[in-house]
Structure 1
Amino acid sequence: MTSQEVRTRFLDFFKGKQHKIVSSAPMVIKDDPTLMFTNAGMNQFKEFFLGNSVSSSKRVADTQKCLRVSGKHNDLDEVGKDTYHHTMFEMLGNWSFGDYFKKEAIQWAWELLTDVYKIDKDSLYVSVFEGSDDADNLEMDQEAFDLWKAIVPEDRIIMGDKKDNFWEMGDQGPCGPCSEIHVDIRSKEEKTKVPGASLVNQDHPQVVEIWNLVFMQYNRKANGSLENLPEKHVDTGMGFERLCMVLQGVQSNYDTDIFMPLIREIEVITGHKYGNSEEVDIAIRVVADHVRAVAFAIADGQLPSNSGAGYVIRRILRRAIRYGFTFLGTKKPFIYRLVKVLSSTMGNAFPELKTQYQLIENVIKEEENSFLSTLEQGLVLLESVVKTSKTKTIDGRKAFELYDTFGFPIDLTALILEEKGYGLDMEGFEKALQVQKDRSRSASEVSKEDWTVLSDDSTQEFVGYDALEADVKLVKYRKVSSKKEGDQYQLVFNLTPFYAEGGGQVGDKGYLKAPNGDVVYVVDTKRENNEIVHFSENLPKDVSGTFKAVVDKKQRWRTASNHTATHLLHQALREVLGDHVEQKGSAVHSKYLRFDFSHFSKMTVEELRQVENFVNARIEGQLPLEENRNMPLKEALGQGAMALFGEKYGDTVRTVRFGQSIELCGGTHVKNTADIWHFKIVSEGAVAAGIRRIEAITSDAVKEFYFNNNRMLFEIKDLLNNAQDPVKAVEGLRDENAALRKQVEQLLKDKAKGLKNELMGEMEELNGIQFLAKKVDLDAAGIKDLAFEMGGQISNLFLLLGAEKDEKAILSCYISKDLVSNKGLNAGQIVRELGKFIQGGGGGQPFFATAGGKNPKGIEDALKQAREIVVS
């Protein structure tokens, strides 16, 4: 049975059980501050479990793309080393929101596995929650036990503790007991020797969990206690890759038709055969797994970056590059070449892989080039560390510096050191790493109290499209504390005019006015699990009254102007550059807008002018807002509405139209494009391979922009003695300055030449090294030219030059490459050390580096210390 057939039969089975089949939510989460990625099938349904919303369908089934590489569920370090963990995987699931419960969930799971998929009943084991005698004091799940006992022999029912058989969404929130279904795919001979029941949940590669049936019936409160949910729910998740392994009769997830096309392509590219070497096999599995995670993330709109979710994606890709570099001998980009295979095998189930194919390939290739360059630089630095080490064990802090500053992987460091006969102080590395983690964790740590509920009214209405003021009542509130934000309160009302951050648009600010005249300021508005949450620094004195909620009118208007302009900009870019342009991200603030889009070259001045003119023509055209707040998704798409990849849409959507521009959008907009006044692009540049970014301003910001430009023009004319033609006057100054610069450069060269001859006579030999450390009267550029000139004439040169410019200190170190190679001297490390004398820092390459500092008086001490380095 092919993987495509496995997926189809699952969905068809539950469709026959009156379940609505829904699409996978994006893997990258944008509207839940508690999660970066979808790590379980239930994530997109959290609002229903929490009771914040009511699902239009009581029964739902889907296949959900998931990523488990951060937070509580983090399998990254296991991936590749075994054959059943993955970063990105599919979760087949069925849900009941207050409809059926344990009986149907258990019976249908058994029916699908044994009657539809024809899995041997004798190879299946089930587990049931045994209860707990801790603070929760939970009883055994007798109901589930009795239901399973009617289906399977009792010796195939395993009692499980809270770790294995009590599922929790997080430290707080819905939870409940669960029943897992495990399968034993070992040979008959192996099954005879060791009973399968003894291997359940023991990380055996052939006795694995394939399905978890979670019975949501409790809510975990902030104080750790449990309370019953208003309704009972079912949340199941079956590992698609493991199921395919079972149904295709293979011993590993990687032997299925999900991964084998990727593995075969890796074999062709690298020349290594899968199955001949454990090291090579692990590397191939890592690459095959990781390219899926990275490709799906990029398709969902998340590019690799240095922070947040983007950092996680970059880390996954770099792990794959590193394994290829170390064990497959790939010194050139190759992972991007696997995207074509992935698109062909999974593109039918997930069409975003096909539509985003070129972008995914380009981004991965660029990241590969960048990290391979980092690896090469790291190898040079590591070689220098080894040569300067006085012991056979490398300091863990040095290894951490390579890891933290240059991104050089610690396991690669350890491997190279082992090959050279050196050890690594892993305790020192772990200590330095832990200090960094503790600092980061402390900065981001957030504690939340339980909600104080004032009303059972769980429905919340947003009235902010039509009004900026409303009489509201507080439904619930809680205190939230963090090191970054301090103490804040989160407030939820029965209705609200405040727009919650979403779709790239910032949340509204404003205030609440109590009947007694007291004011509480709303500093931000966000959406969490489909509730609009208002942030304030203090709590109303009387939480039971009716408040006047008032949105900051000016900020809302500016933000709405910028949001409307993003729609017009999107239309303009497609008109000027072509239909290949797709929105890849946006940020809409009150002061500016940012728009990321797919395009493979820098925009010309003429193209930017055309885009500006296009948008401003629509502003001058006074196009009215045409809004439909409840249109069927298919109908909206049929009318040409632009849908964005990486966004999750419901059955009905809101459409926003200005003339020929029509998009699916939940943001706020002006009533007429004339309200924007004017649109101005302030920058255009690259974000990643094939992704460009435009930053622009509208309305008041444009007026301020032109006002400042006009003011600067008058100031320039005043400096030019009110020249009639300031441009011509500046051109004259530029030409005159160029001529004078050439004269100065020649004078400096002559000075440096004379200085070089003087310095050549001051060289002294120390330990076979031509040494000189001296303070000179040159700038940084002059010092560099002088150092390289001397380096070209003197072998075994160690040169340290110091200078004082504008009350700042400069230290530049040049070391001949033969000294770098033979004596392990490293200019970058040396200037970092000597930089302490001038109260500064710096760095560079092993043969030339520069430091700057604020203490010129320390130059002489630095020069003396340089001698000690060479002598020792």
Structure 2
Amino acid sequence: MKSQELRSKFLSFFESKQHQIVPSAPMVMKNDPTLLFTNAGMNQFKEYFLGNANPKHTRLTDSQKCLRVSGKHNDLEEVGKDTYHHTMFEMLGNWSIGDYFKDEAIAWAWEFFVDILKIDKDNLYVTIFEGDKNDGLEKDQEAYDLWKRHISEDRILLGNKKDNFWEMGDQGPCGPASEIHIDIRSDEEKAKVSGKDLVNEDHPQVVEVWNLVFMQYNRMANGSLKDLPAKHIDTGMGFERLAMVMQGKQSNYDTDVFMPIIKEIETITNSTYGSSEEVDIAIRVIADHLRAVCFAIADGQLPSNNGAGYVIRRILRRAIRYGFTFLNIKEPFIYKLVNVLSDQMGEAFPELKKQSQLCENVIKEEENSFMKTLEQGLSLLEQMIESTKGQEMSGKKAFELYDTFGFPIDLTALILEEKGMSLNNKEFEVELQKQKQRSRSAAETSTEDWVVLREDDVEEFIGYDHLKTDVKITKYRKVKSKKDGELFQLVFNLTPFYPEGGGQIGDKGYLEESNGNVVHIIDTKKENNQIIHLAKNLPQNIEGVFKAIVNEDLRNKAAANHTATHLLHQALRRILGDHVEQKGSLVHDQYLRFDFAHFGKVTEDELKEIEKFVNARIYEQINLDEKRNVPFDDAIKEGATALFGEKYGDTVRMIQFGESVELCGGTHVSNTSDIWHFKILSESAVASGIRRIEAITRDAAKDYFTEKTQQFDAIKKLLNNAKDPEKSVKDLQAENNKLKKQIDQLLSEKAGNIKGDLKAKIKEVNGVHFLAEKVDLDANAIKDVAFQLGGEVENLFLVLASDQKGKALMSCYISKDLVKEKELNAGQIIRELGKHIQGGGGGQPFFATAGGKNPEGIAQALAEAEKYMTS
């Protein structure tokens, strides 16, 4: 029976029992602070169980997306190692909200299994709650008596609180449970050991399939149990496990739920499921984790560094790491599996199809990012493990990997666990706290008290309309910091200086005294609702009247860039879609930076369209339409964009350039023509789903085009002032490629000749074909020769070295059979041999490379290699 048919049969059965079929709730929890993810089918009905709301229907059924990777219900570390645990899984369920209770729930479960699915009742076992003294609960005799109607008493087993008392979390609805287990072993195996002895013993062929929870209590914050307002039924059946049973498989992963994904993994990674335990675990991890990540993204949760986003990132990184380590995949590949999953499950869960492109883009971006961290981190971690004495790694070493290279500490712990080692977590925490203290110390400042000169003047910002004015200093203070040294903070009675805010940097300028003395204002900030001007020294006459003058050139450049961000925002929404949201900006006098929500890299064609759109607004010479002190609600009604995360008062300032309308407190040009031209310099990823554009305007754009013109003239000159420089460059490239191919051919022939000579020199040492030789080849050619010889000669242990331009290169190749039989490791061996050439290296157990600065040590290293055959 195909899985889609199985899901349909379940829902249809309970629909015939007057249950309303409801859609699955999102897997990512949004309105429940006690959970990050939906971990059971009942989550979306929690308010009904608590009696806080009344449902339209008291009998419900669905197939719910669930994720169990955090908190009390955490299956993450089991996934892949066995055949029946998952992170994301479907839970088929039926619920009674104060309607029927144990009698009907048990009867209908039996009917569905035995009468509808035709499962042999002799393969079934059931468990009931044995009671718990701490909670004051007795054995569930009622459930026991009800089960006796359907199954022999020797198949009704007592279960403890862990297995037979279901709780959603530390708090919330809960109750005793009755599980249905199925024994899918062969008759021969059943004859050896009774199935009842394997129930709840983590046997892969004696598994729990359906859990009937008799919801009647509420777990309170102090741990006590309180009766719910009414008694309910909450059942959950593992869809993947049921498919295994109905399709006659011995593993959930062998069903049509997973096999399409597994086959695609085999194709993409050139691996074979069933070839080895390591490969099988890796493929299962990837297939499972793909589902979890895709469903989470489709439900609106992107990978991030905290909360639910961190969990999703951790799941994805675990999958990447398994592919990297056990399938030897060094480039992004998981994103290529999204379409298979979407085609397979999109009918039951349409959000997958709708968000498939988003899933693909986000996963690919995460893979690219983590691959860089992973490759470097794993190599360093391997070296640390080898140098570790005993079975516990120093937390100080692990922190170095975490702090310097960004290698996840939980991944370090996982890899250590797989190698039978542990991590000194206390040491790690000590180092982490030291780092935090260092950061705090670096940021420490000593601030003197304010010296108040005038108390009757109220500070006022006039910088929108004026760039110079007469001011008085109302107060000042001295501030010392390790970063900036000694500075003075000045507050004026009024000021034309714009304080840093809304992404725009603060104004610079100076104060001019009546005697001509100048005090430079190096920055302007806002603190506790007052504008603070930073200076390196105080005026000579602190109580005098000064001419405050803003650096007009810097202000105008910043204003041009700020207006350009508004036009850029408008362009992004017009060209990329209304989903684009501003996530941050930096408006500098030299450039602008704009962060925005978007699911993938902006293409070159899209960037050209964005540039074209912004420049069209510039050339239209649109005047600024500024409205101050507009009631917030009125501004929103007029179509103004309020940026997410920004705090607005009762009244706001509206900035409008044509159809671009935003709430903004920054400074802007009076006409878009003042921007002169808009040029995008770069587009990149900041985080998953967050992109960044950096661009320039005005003088910076003029300088950019001047520089490019000069570069073009220089190139043209090198091409003898060719009339068509582009064609000339292409001709040079074609000629270069032709010559390169000829060189590669010559090198290949040279390597082929060397390979023949090397093959003739191979000798047998203790049953191993051994050769350690110096050759005149580069690193790539050495690798090619090594693998060619490895394909032609069995049980080969090969070390090749070369002196290339005064640097030593060395590679070690070991046949995979030797790696297993003699426990040899090329990575470890090459690191030891590398010491002779004053270098280091690493790699995989069957092939590794090293580089060093002492070619004279090659002979000694090659001589040392043979000792591995005789030791």
2:423 pairs with 1:454? no
Summarize the Cα distance change of 1:590–1:806 in structure 2 as closer, same or farther, 3 Å threshold: farther
Give, in whole Å, the separation in 2 of the partners of 1:527 and 1:360.
39
Q: Which residue of 2 aligns with 1:628?
A: 627
Match of 2:26 in 1: none
- For residue 438 of structure 2, the aligned residue among 429, 432, 442 is 442
Match of 1:424 in 2: 422
**Residue pair 1:763, 1:772 contacting (<8 A) in 2 also:** yes
Query: CA offset at residue 747 of structure 1?
Result: 0.6
On the 8 A contact 2:467/2:496 being kept in 1, the answer is yes
- For 1:452, what is the secondary structure of its paired residue? coil
What are the Cα deviations for residues 720-741 of structure 1, in whole angstroms up to 9, with x where unaligned? 1222221221121121111111
Distance in 2, Cα, partners of 1:267 & 1:364: 31
Contact 1:388 1:824 survives alignment (8 Å):
no
Q: Return the alpha-carbon distance in structure 2 between the equivalents of residues 736 and 325 of structure 1.
A: 40
Give the secondary structure class of the aligned counterpart of 2:776: coil
Q: Could you tell which deviates more after superposition, 532-541 or 755-764?
A: 532-541
Per-residue deviation, 1:862? 6.1
**Aligned partner of residue 624 in structure 1, secondary structure:** coil
Residue number in structure 2 paired with 1:658: 657
Matched, 1:727 2:696: no
Task: String of CA shifts for 1:512-562, please: whole Å, max 9, x gaps.
Answer: 445565544444444444444444455666655555444333322222212
- What is the SS of the residue equivalent to 2:790? helix
1:452 and 1:374 map into 2 onto residues whose CA distance is 49
Per-residue deviation, residues 94-129 of structure 1 (Å, max 9, x unmatched): xxxxxxxxxxxxxxxxxxxxxxxxxxxxxxxxxxxx
Measured after TM superposition, the shift of residue 618 of structure 1 is 1.4
- Is the contact between residue 656 and residue 662 of structure 1 (CA under 8 Å) also seen in structure 2? yes
Q: CA deviation at 1:650?
A: 2.2
Among all aligned residue pairs of Structure 1 and Structure 2, give the percentage whose two residues are the same amino acid. Answer: 50
1:1-20 matches, within 5 Å, as: none
Aligned to 1:787: 786
Deviation string 1:488-518 (CA, Å, 9 cap, x unpaired) is: 5554444433333332323333444455655
Distance 1:860 1:404, change over 3 A: farther
Cα offset, 1:703, TM superposition:
1.5
Distance apart, 1:481 and its partner CA: 1.8
State whether structure 2 residue 462 is matched by structure 1 residue 473: no
Structure 2 letter corresponding to 1:251: M
Q: 1:372 to 1:556 in 2, by over 3 A?
A: closer
Larger Rg: 2
What do the CA deviations read for 1:583-628 (whole angstroms, capped 9, x no partner)?
2333322222232334445444443333222211211111111212
Tell me the equivalent position of 2:588. Answer: 589
* CA gap 1:436/1:675 in 2 versus in 1, 3 angstroms: same
Q: Which one-letter code corresponds to 2:473 in the other structure?
A: K
**Equivalent residue number for residue 551 of structure 1:** 550
1:498 aligns with 497
8 A contact 1:627–1:656 mirrored in 2: yes
Return closer, same or farther for 1:673/1:861 CA change in 2, 3 Å cut-off.
Answer: farther
Indicate the SS of the match to 2:505. Answer: coil
Task: Specify the alignment match of 1:671 in structure 2.
Answer: 670
User: Please, which runs of 5 or more residues in structure 2 have no aligned partner?
Assistant: 1-69, 75-133, 138-169, 172-216, 227-233, 243-288, 327-333, 339-353
User: Are the structure 2 counterparts of residues 371 and 705 from structure 1 closer, same or farther at C-alpha, using a change threshold of 3 Å?
Assistant: closer
Native 8 Å contact 1:816 1:847 kept in 2: yes
Secondary structure class of the residue paired with 1:663: strand
CA distance in 2, matches of 1:405, 1:265: 48
Query: How many pairs were matched up?
Result: 583
Compared with structure 1, are the counterparts of its residues 442 and 819 closer, same or farther at alpha carbon in structure 2 (3 Å cutoff)?
farther
Indicate the residue corresponding to 1:43 in structure 2: none
Q: Write the distance in 2 (CA, Å) between the matches of 1:419 and 1:642.
A: 51
What is the deviation of 1:861? Answer: 6.6
On the 8 A contact 2:399/2:431 being kept in 1, the answer is: no
- The equivalent position to 2:220 in structure 1, one of 232, 236, 251, is 251
> Residues 374-404 of structure 1, C-alpha deviation per residue, up to 9 Å, x if partnerless?
9998999799789968965244266557656
Amino acid at match of 2:697: T
Amino acid corresponding to residue 565 of structure 1 in structure 2: A
RCO comparison, higher one (Cα < 8 Å, 6+): 1
- Please give the per-residue CA displacement for 1:747-803, whole angstroms capped at 9, x wherever unaligned: 111111122223334446667665555554333333333333333334455545444
3-state SS, counterpart of residue 444 of structure 2: strand
- In the TM superposition, residue 325 of structure 1 has moved relative to its aligned partner by 12
Q: Is the 8 A contact 1:385 1:824 kept in 2?
A: no
The 2-side partners of 1:837 and 1:753 are apart by 28
After superposition, residues 812-827 of structure 1 pair within 5 angstroms as 812-818=811-817
Displacement of 1:648:
2.2
User: In 2, are the aligned partners of 1:597 and 1:691 still within 8 Å (CA)?
Assistant: yes
Mapped partners of 2:573, 2:372: distance in 1: 36
Q: Give SS of 2:661's match.
A: strand
Alpha-carbon deviations, 1:232-275, whole Å to 9, x = none?
Answer: xxxxxxxxxxxxxxxx953259999xxxxxxx999969989xxx
Matches within 5 A, 1:360-379: none
> 1-side partners of 2:817 and 2:413: how far apart?
26
Q: In structure 2, do the counterparts of structure 1 residues 737 and 642 end up closer, same or farther at CA, with 3 Å as the change threshold?
A: same
1:579 aligns with 2:548: no
Superimposed CA distance per residue, residues 36-92 of structure 1 (whole angstroms, 9 cap, x where no aligned partner):
xxxxxxxxxxxxxxxxxxxxxxxxxxxxxxxxxxxxxxxxxxx94799xxxxxxxxx
Partners of 2:416 and 2:528 in 1: CA distance: 49
Verify the 8 A CA contact 1:676 1:698 in the aligned structure 2. yes
User: Is the CA contact 1:826–1:847 (under 8 Å) kept in the aligned structure 2?
Assistant: yes
Which amino acid is 2:756 matched to? N
Conserved 8 A contact 1:399-1:413: yes
Distance 2:319 2:308 in 1: 17
Whole-angstrom distance in 2 between the partners of 1:868 and 1:550: 79
Give the distance between the partners of 1:491 and 1:868, measured in 2 at CA.
75
Shift in alpha-carbon separation, 1:768–1:578, aligned structure 2, 3 A: same
What secondary structure, in the 3-state scheme, does the structure 1 residue paired with 2:595 have? strand
* 3-state SS of paired residue (1:449): strand
Q: CA RMSD of the aligned region, Å?
A: 5.5
Alpha carbons of structure 1 residues 723 and 611: separation in structure 2 relative to 1, 3 Å: same
Deviation of the 1:461 alpha carbon: 3.0
Aligned counterparts of 1:859 and 1:465: Cα–Cα separation in 2: 72
More deviation in 568-577 or 602-611? 602-611
Decide whether the 8 Å contact of 2:677 with 2:698 is kept in 1.
yes
CA contact (8 A) 1:497 1:551 kept: yes
Q: Matches of 2:612 and 2:417 in 1, distance apart? A: 63
1:393 match: 391
AA paired with 2:791? G
Q: Is the Cα–Cα contact under 8 Å of residues 773 and 799 in structure 1 kept in the other structure?
A: yes
Over 3 Å counting, the alpha-carbon distance change for 1:607 and 1:406 in structure 2 is closer
> 1:17-47 CA distances to partner (integer Å, 9 max, x unpaired)?
xxxxxxxxxxxxxxxxxxxxxxxxxxxxxxx
Shift of 1:636: 1.2
**Residues 671 and 690 of structure 1, relative CA distance in 2, 3 Å threshold:** same
CA distance in 2, matches of 1:461, 1:403: 48
